[in-house]
Structure 1
Amino acid sequence: MIAQAGQGGVALTGEGGFLPELIRRVLERGMAAELDDHLGYEKGDPAGRGTANSRNGSTPKTVASEVGDIPLATPRDRAGTFEPRLVPKGARRLGGLEEQIISLYAGGMTVRDIQTHFARTLGTDLSHETIANITDAVLEEVKAWQSRPLDEVWPVLFLDAIVVKVRDGGQVRNRHAHIVIGVDTDGVKHVLGIWVDASEGAKFWASVCAQLANRGVRDVLIACCDGLPGLPEAIEATWPRTVVQTCVVHLIRAANRYVSDKDRKVFSRALKDVYTAADVDAARTAFEELTDSEMGRKYPAAVAVWERAWERFTPFLAFPPAVRRVIYTTNSIESLNYQLRKIIKNRGHFPSDDAAVKLLWLAIRDIEDKRARAREKDRGKPANQRSGPAKLIEGAGTHGWKIALNQLELMFPDRLDGHIN
């Protein structure tokens, strides 16, 4: 077979392929050795004559694998007490196939896509139910992750949302999958949870904040969001001392939706004078200048975005530069959302809210695993030769955190005591 494979006469995978045949022979020899150990003598050994148990032929079965379907002859004993460990009774898949299915699912492939993929590439015919059961097996893990205990104090929380399509009865509706990201007292980012809601509002956000509080969150210094309806009130009802800050990046983007491409640089430059102002009075002066300028008169809807959000934007101006940089810069979160949107686009719609949460959780885990493997390849190389990407969100550090932490200690006295490692 090796000679034929080298000459192109035997396929590597699929029915009749070299790898399935090699695996079949290894497994059958392994199970035969297990039976020898179970009976206490090898096949043909005279020591086995007259013993209470003996070989009794074999049972055919087919198992799915990463290289295709593999037909096996599972040896039996007359007493029916032999239990092979290499391929247990009832097993229809070899180890590794589940991981591959989950990885493909996390990459955005539907159950039907995965079914077709295995049929075309490996000649393995997995049922729709089998693949769905494998992906559903991670739901318990998702639920455990979604309910895990959290630190008592979080200096910063970021709340953002992406749109997912979920089937509701006979219709497909847009829903928002909200992702909460926290920066702990060490400056390390964590995804705290994912929630899909049918309709945004104070009631929904109150339940999210209540869940976080029930998981141990007792205090949040700063919560940064994009002005979602009902969110500021829900945060303040749960953690009364939290400063709720409208995300500056979201405000800039929301305003620029009303500005033509050719004018965006000029308009954004005028906006920069507002959000980089030394204090509220200076920001108000810069904003009034923008309102009265040619750009302001040309794009009143863009100006109105900032006018409506003014009360939730101005807390940003009370923070010193190091803290401003932490809550202004949302590049990592935007990068995560970009990756998730690509995966969601491939999927179309989801059959349920749980299915959407499951895929988003798997996608985040898959993204971080791929980045970790790339970094592992760079282990031992000089810094200028490393190309592996940094952590995207989970476990990623915050640039300039030590300086920001010192300033947070001064701004929020006593609230971080006993919570800094």
Structure 2
Amino acid sequence: MSNFKTELYKALASGSSIDEIVRSEIESCVNFLLKTELTSFLDYEPYDTAGYNTGNSRNGYYARTIMTRYGDIEVQVPRDRNGEFKQQTIRPYKRNTDNLETTILPLYSKGITTSEISDLIEKMYGHAYTPATISNMTKAVEDHVKEIHERALNKRYAVIYMDAIYLNVRRDSVSKEALHILVGITPEGYKEVLDYRLYPTECAENYKEMLQDIYQRGCHEVLLFVSNGRQGLRDRYLEIFPHAQHQSCWVHIQRNVLRLVRNKDKQEVADALKAVYQCKTLKEANKALDDFIETYKDKYPKIQDRFENRDSLFSWLSFPKDIQCSLYTSNLIEGLNKQLKRKIKQKEQFPNEESLERFVCTRFMEYNQQFSNRVHRGFNKVQKELVDMFDQQYK
């Protein structure tokens, strides 16, 4: 909003009316929020290749005129090709907004700071709503926070992804803390955030505590856990789910290996390692890994140490081929984390843990709703095979 302030100061200095400047700023903000909402719904940025073959896409706009005290604003409401997108920034069939909560909560859920919302609401309605007042309004989200942490879960999940991202949180001072996240896919192929918790640092014991909680909430059978290979994690989840398998993310494995390699050799080593995790059978994969180690053990002896334990390297190969591409990395949850970080960039820090909880809860509830009726790639073809796997692992 720095440009808005510059234009405002110029108008005041020249004695000109500020109405058009404020009206234009409101129009820009609302149109930006609408575009952001559609991006969140579709789960990919404009022109991003991630949107190819998703079954839905952007499909132009339709115009609406909204009345404010500073004049009419023209908004371009984006549409999706399937007609499923329902924007929340502007109330349907209303030419003005008479309920501040219905305006503030969607803005807050999009990551706009309370100070920015306060400025925008004052421009739209001509009343001074302080950041503290708006922050109190957003505490209505707290009921949803409790619900997402306590809701009953499915008995079975084919796979659970585990990861953490670091966020700035203020306590006595501002410091980065680890938001631990669990994302599950049901045997039918539906994705959902099972739980999230904030801890000072990422460690295996934290995940164990979260797994104990989801077990108490009804999740008793899991076929596979996928994580970044953090030390001790496999042992901790086996304490809660002794019949499950574990897969270390091959993207993280590759990064760890390349840290041990000179720059001039990185591409060669990366290509050789890629050939290992692109194998189609366990026998082929073990043979390819043996060949890889043999090739580089003299030049880079520390590489061999990385593969002493193979328990979690090739678990994905025991699953049906139609879903294997989703199981050998933690890309699914990494993608969710990337989206979350984009939203959080608008908030330099969270003033307290409760503020973070409300913000993150809103994002994850939207994620769960978005994928509640979308089957993840390949899962519609492997229903019987997954049921058979559950029967074998949990007989």
Shorter-chain TM-score range: 0.5 to 0.7
Equivalent position amino acid for 1:125 in 2 = A
User: Residue by residue, what CA displacement relative to the aligned partner does 1:145-186 show, whole Å, maximum 9, x if unpaired?
Assistant: 2211111111111112211111232x2222111221111121
| Matching residue of 1:82 | none
Q: Which of 140, 156, 164 lines up with 2:167 in the alignment?
A: 164
Taking the aligned partners of 2:322 and 2:192, their CA distance within structure 1 comes to: 20
Taking the aligned partners of 1:68 and 1:137, their CA distance within structure 2 comes to: 27
Residue pairs, 1:191-270, within 5 angstroms: 191-256=193-258, 264-270=266-272
| Residue 136, structure 1, aligned to residue 139, structure 2 | yes
Q: CA deviation at 1:339?
A: 1.3
Taking the aligned partners of 1:305 and 1:362, their CA distance within structure 2 comes to: 43
Q: CA deviation at 1:277?
A: 2.9
Q: CA deviation at 1:216?
A: 0.8
Taking the aligned partners of 1:163 and 1:323, their CA distance within structure 2 comes to: 29
Equivalent position amino acid for 1:115 in 2 = S
Distance change in 2, residues 1:366/1:411 (3 Å): closer
Contact 1:190 1:395 in 2 (8 A): no
Contact 2:158 2:224 in 1 (8 A): yes
Residue pairs, 1:265-276, within 5 angstroms: 265-276=267-278
| Residue 350, structure 1, aligned to residue 328, structure 2 | no
Distance change in 2, residues 1:162/1:68 (3 Å): farther
Taking the aligned partners of 1:323 and 1:133, their CA distance within structure 2 comes to: 45
Residue pairs, 1:10-89, within 5 angstroms: 67=68
Identity of aligned residues (%): 26
Q: Which has the higher contact order (CA 8 A, sep 6+)?
A: 2
Taking the aligned partners of 2:389 and 2:235, their CA distance within structure 1 comes to: 22
Q: Which of 382, 385, 392 lines up with 1:407 in the alignment?
A: 385
Contact 1:326 1:398 in 2 (8 A): no
Name the SS of the counterpart of 1:100 in structure 2. helix
| Matching residue of 1:42 | none
Long gaps (5+) in structure 1: 1-8, 16-64, 70-93, 370-390
Long gaps (5+) in structure 2: 1-16, 24-65, 71-96
Equivalent position amino acid for 1:149 in 2 = A
Distance change in 2, residues 1:395/1:403 (3 Å): closer
Q: Which of 184, 189, 192 lines up with 2:191 in the alignment?
A: 189
Q: Which of 355, 369, 374 lines up with 1:396 in the alignment?
A: 374
| Matching residue of 1:32 | none
Residue pairs, 1:88-167, within 5 angstroms: 95-120=98-123, 122-167=125-170
Distance change in 2, residues 1:244/1:66 (3 Å): farther
| Residue 334, structure 1, aligned to residue 334, structure 2 | yes
Residue pairs, 1:256-335, within 5 angstroms: 256=258, 264-293=266-295, 303=303, 306-307=306-307, 310-328=310-328, 330-335=330-335
Name the SS of the counterpart of 1:413 in structure 2. helix
Distance change in 2, residues 1:258/1:164 (3 Å): farther
| Matching residue of 1:90 | none
Contact 1:156 1:183 in 2 (8 A): yes
Taking the aligned partners of 1:130 and 1:304, their CA distance within structure 2 comes to: 59
User: Residue by residue, what CA displacement relative to the aligned partner does 1:190-248 show, whole Å, maximum 9, x if unpaired?
Assistant: 11121111233343222211210111111111111112344322321111111122122
Taking the aligned partners of 1:129 and 1:251, their CA distance within structure 2 comes to: 46
Paired residue total = 311
Contact 2:260 2:300 in 1 (8 A): yes
Distance change in 2, residues 1:287/1:222 (3 Å): same
User: Residue by residue, what CA displacement relative to the aligned partner does 1:245-282 show, whole Å, maximum 9, x if unpaired?
Assistant: 21223323444456677755433321122123344453
Equivalent position amino acid for 1:408 in 2 = L
User: Residue by residue, what CA displacement relative to the aligned partner does 1:13-59 show, whole Å, maximum 9, x if unpaired?
Assistant: 989xxxxxxxxxxxxxxxxxxxxxxxxxxxxxxxxxxxxxxxxxxxx
Taking the aligned partners of 1:304 and 1:351, their CA distance within structure 2 comes to: 45
Choose 1 or 2 for highest CA Rg: 1
TM-score by length of 1: 0.63
